[in-house]
Amino acid sequence: MIIGFPKERDDKRVGMVPPVLSKMSALGVEIYLEKGAGEGAFYADADYAEQGARLVSREEVLAQSDVVISISPLPEEEWSKLKPGAFMVSRFAPYFHKDVAERIEKAGLRAFSLDMIPRTTLAQSMDVLSSFASVAGYKSVLLAAHHLPRYFPMMITAAGSIKPAKVLVLGAGVAGLQAIATAKRLGAMVEASDTRLAAKEEVESLGGKFILVEGAKDDASAGGYAVEQSEDFLRRQREEVQLRATKSDVIITTAQVRGRKAPLLVPTETVEKMRPGSVIVDLAASTGGNCELTQDRKTIVHKGVTIIGNSDLAADLPQDSSFLFANNIHNFVKLFIKEGKLELDMENEIIKGALIV
Ligand code: NAD
C-alpha cells in the first residue's frame, strides 16, 4: 500500500515530516512524497529520502497512492488523477461544504475528513483541529504584541514604570486557552469569556479571569462544541465585552459555532471606544469574524485600532504545525492500516465519525 503526500498549495506546511516517517513505514506502507513538499517548513528532500520515503513528481504521488493525505483538500480538478477508489484524507469541512461527500463519491473516490474526528479523549492524539488551533492561539498573541505600541509585561525602570498590557480573549477553546497561556507568559493581565461553563476552570487554571455572562446555552450533546446562542444572550455579552474592551489593549477573538457564521461579539461601536494603538486579532475571520470590521486575511487600521483577520495562523509556524499534523496523521492512520492493509472497523467511533465517503 502506498500513502502519498502532495505538496500543499499556497501553504508552507507539509503533511509528513522526516522524524515521523519511520513510524509510518512501520505500518507496512510505502511513502511517496512530492519533491520539495517539505521545503517551506525547512524539511529537506534528502532527510525524507534517508528515512525511506520516495521523492516523486506530483503526478506520480496522485496516480500511485492508495491513500493521499493533505492538510488542505486537493483541488477538485486533480481528483480525476487519483486511482479509482483511492482514499483522500484531509480537512473537507463537510459541515460547511454540504455536498462535498456527494462530489467525492461521484468522482469514484473515498474520503476521511480530519475535522470530523470526534473531540473525545481517545481521539486527542489525532486531533488536527487542536494542533492547529493551539499554534494559532500562540501566534495570535505574538502578532498582537508585535503590533501593539506598548510592552506586554509590567516594567519598573529608572526611566519610569510601565503597567502590564490588558488582554481580553473571547472564546476559550483550544486557541483561546493557548492565547491566554502565551499572553500570561509575556506578562499581560488576561480576561476571557466563553459560553461553555467548562471553560471557566480552564481559564482560571492558566491565571486568567473568567467573565461570566449569565444564561448561556451549553449543550453537552454538542460533543464539546458551543451551540448557537439567543440574540438576547449575545446582546448582553456584547455589552459586557464593550465594558472590558474599552480598558483592553488587545482583544483576541476565537469564538466559533461549528457549521455556522461566527457570533458577532465586537461591533464597530466597541472598536471605536477602544484606545488608539489597541490591537484585535480575529481568529474567526474565515467564518465571518467576531469583530464587525474584520476583513479575512487582511490587516486594517480603524480609528487607530489595528484589526488582524486571520483564521489560518497555524500556517505561519509551518515547521511545528507540520510536525504536529504528521504525528496526528500517524495516530489516525494506524487505526485503519494494519500490516500494509486497509482494515476499516465500522464499530470504531473515530472511523465512523471521520469517514465521510
Ligand atoms: P471552536 O473553535 O469550535 O470555538 C472556539 C471557542 O469559542 C469555544 O470554546 C466555544 O465555546 C467558544 N464560543 C462560541 N460561541 C461563543 C460566544 N458567543 N462567546 C464566547 N465564546 C464562544 O472550539 P475548539 O477550540 O475547537 O473546542 C471545541 C470543543 O472541543 C471544546 O469543548 C474543547 O474543550 C473540546 N476539545 C476536546 C478535545 C479532545 O478531547 N479530543 C480536543 C480539543 C478540544
Please state, as a whole number, how many other Cβ atoms lie within 10 Å of the Cβ of residue 167.
28
Is 297 known to be catalytic?
no
Per-residue pLDDT tens over the stretch 321-349: 999 999 999 999 999 999 999 999 999 99
Residue with the larger pLDDT of the pair 285 and 220: 285
Q: What is the mean predicted confidence (pLDDT) over 60-84?
A: 98
Choose which residue among 177, 194, 201, 260 to substitute to test ligand 1 binding: the one with the highest number of ligand atoms within 8 A of its C-beta.
Answer: 194
Distance 338 CA to ligand 1 centre (A): 33
Domain boundaries, the chain: 2-116+318-354, 129-315
pLDDT at residue number 272: 97
Distance 219 CA to ligand 1 centre (A): 12
DSSP 54-120: EEE-HHHHHHH-SEEE-SSPPPGGGGGGSPTTPEEEE---TTTSTTHHHHHHHTT-EEEEGGGS--S
Q: What is the mean predicted confidence (pLDDT) over 281-288?
A: 97
Whether 228 shows a pLDDT value over 90: the answer reads no
Query: In this structure, are residues 293 and 306 in contact, taking their beta carbons and an 8 Å threshold?
Result: no
Query: In this structure, are residues 343 and 328 in contact, taking their beta carbons and an 8 Å threshold?
Result: no
Q: What is the mean predicted confidence (pLDDT) over 232-249?
A: 90
196 close to ligand 1 (CB < 6 Angstrom): yes
CA distances from 351 to 24, 31, 333, 357 (A): 18, 22, 10, 11
Pick the CATH number of 129-315 from 3.40.50.10490, 3.40.50.720, 3.40.50.300, 3.30.70.20: 3.40.50.720
Q: What is the mean predicted confidence (pLDDT) over 52-73?
A: 98
Distance CA 48, CA 54 (A): 8
Number of the ligand 1 atom closest to the C-alpha atom of 262: 15
Percent of the chain residues topping a pLDDT of 90: 89
**Given pLDDT bands bounded at 50, 70 and 90, which one contains residue 188?**
very high
Distance CA 77, CA 276 (A): 46
Number of the ligand 1 atom closest to the C-alpha atom of 122: 41
**What count of Cα atoms within 13 Å lies in the side-chain half-sphere of residue 75?**
7
Q: Cell 457564521 sits at which residue?
A: 261
Is 194 known to be catalytic?
no
Residues pairing with 34 in the sheet? 56
Here the cell at position 223 is 460533543
Distance CA 149, CA 223 (A): 40
Choose which residue among 256, 258, 265 to substitute to test ligand 1 binding: the one with the highest number of ligand atoms within 8 A of its C-beta.
Answer: 256
pLDDT at residue number 41: 98
Chain mean pLDDT for the chain:
96
pLDDT at residue number 238: 86
**Given pLDDT bands bounded at 50, 70 and 90, which one contains residue 101?**
very high
pLDDT at residue number 215: 84
Here the cell at position 281 is 486579532
Is 319 known to be catalytic?
no
**Given pLDDT bands bounded at 50, 70 and 90, which one contains residue 351?**
very high
266 close to ligand 1 (CB < 6 Angstrom): no
Whether 79 shows a pLDDT value over 90: the answer reads yes
157 close to ligand 1 (CB < 6 Angstrom): no
Marked catalytic residue, from 65, 130, 140, 278: 130
Residues pairing with 337 in the sheet? 342
Whether 271 shows a pLDDT value over 90: the answer reads yes
pLDDT at residue number 214: 85
Distance 65 CA to ligand 1 centre (A): 35
Q: What is the mean predicted confidence (pLDDT) over 156-176?
A: 97
Whether 353 shows a pLDDT value over 90: the answer reads yes
> Among 11-25, 93-107, 220-234, 300-314, which stretch is predicted with the lowest mean pLDDT?
220-234
Q: Identify the CATH class of 2-116+318-354.
A: alpha beta
pLDDT at residue number 335: 96
Whether 186 shows a pLDDT value over 80: the answer reads yes
Marked catalytic residue, from 119, 185, 236, 260: 119
pTM of the model: 0.95
pLDDT at residue number 291: 97
